[in-house]
Amino acid sequence: MTSPPPPAGPPWDLPVADAPLAFIDLEMTGLETATDRVVEVCVERVRGGVLEGRLHTLVRPEGLALTDAVGNMHVHGIDASALLEAPTFAEIATQVADLFEGAILVAHGASWDVAFLEAEMARAGHPMPIPSYLDTLNLSRRAFGLKRHSLDALREHFGLDKSRAHRADADVAALRFVWTSCVAALEPNTPRDIWDVRIAARKARDQILAECTVAIGAGQAVTLVYRPRSKPAEPIQMVLVEIVAGLDPPRVIGYQLPGRGRRELRADRILRIERTSSSTTT
């Protein structure tokens, strides 16, 4: 599921390093927001890589007997006895709201976390709609030529610790590493630009199209980091001459160097643009 376009202004139009981000992972009793409940939450509020606030706690689910609160124990390993002294979601709702104040939610497979967070906050009497958010599952699918993009698969790919997978704090640590890796691959200027990375929509990022337009006007060679379907990213040095905006997605046309062979690339598959050290005119 894709979130709607973010509102104009902060935090979405700030430089990425200046935007407050709230990384979240939840562990639940199941997958039905109406009947299942959150049993563990971790939120880390980060700006420019600096941790500004954190909440990690087990959660005693209200409205469920503890014996019914461990439906996903085979996934996260949280049993009923661990929840006896835990706070309810209503008791932590103010802390959660404070961590998300003015921040952008970031999660992996984010629609689940958003749905459960909204449901729990509403039940706690603190409605907190989250219409727009960032999903590292979507970003990973664009940035990396992997067969699988689950958090477990990304842990394996990046060599991350797997000993506490599916616990909220460990998953947030993995989530933040994946986020940093995606940002390095995509080089967004703003959170809005990285929100534009939408696989199913075949959406070309406005930032990429703008940088291609500048390169065309300058007549200089640039290196496009391009990821073909189901393949790793590759650098392609080109002199760009045209953007065909009427196609879906738009195409970027130019001459590949050396040799000046004509290339036509899908703009939505361009991860980033790097200027070369030398300038080559058209």
Do residues 127 and 36 touch, judged by C-beta distance below 8 A? no
pLDDT score recorded for residue 279: 44
> In sequence order, what are the residues at sequence separation of 6 or more whose Cβ sits closer than 8 angstroms to the Cβ of residue 277?
none
Q: What is the pLDDT of residues 245-271, one digit of tens each?
A: 988 899 999 999 998 899 999 999 999
Q: What pLDDT band is residue 230 in, cutting at 50, 70 and 90?
A: confident
Lay out the sheet containing 261-266: strands in order across: 261-266, 251-256, 234-244, 221-226, 270-275
Per-residue pLDDT of 39-53, as tens digits, reads: 999 999 999 999 999
- What residue ranges define each of the domains in the chain, with the CATH number in brackets? 16-195 (3.30.420.10), 206-275 (2.30.30)
Crossing angle of helices 89-100 and 110-123, in 10° steps, is 120
pLDDT of 76: 60
Q: One-letter amino acid identity for 20?
A: P
| pLDDT attached to residue 216 | 95
pTM: 0.91
Cβ atoms within 10 Å, residue 184: 10
DSSP character at residue 249: S
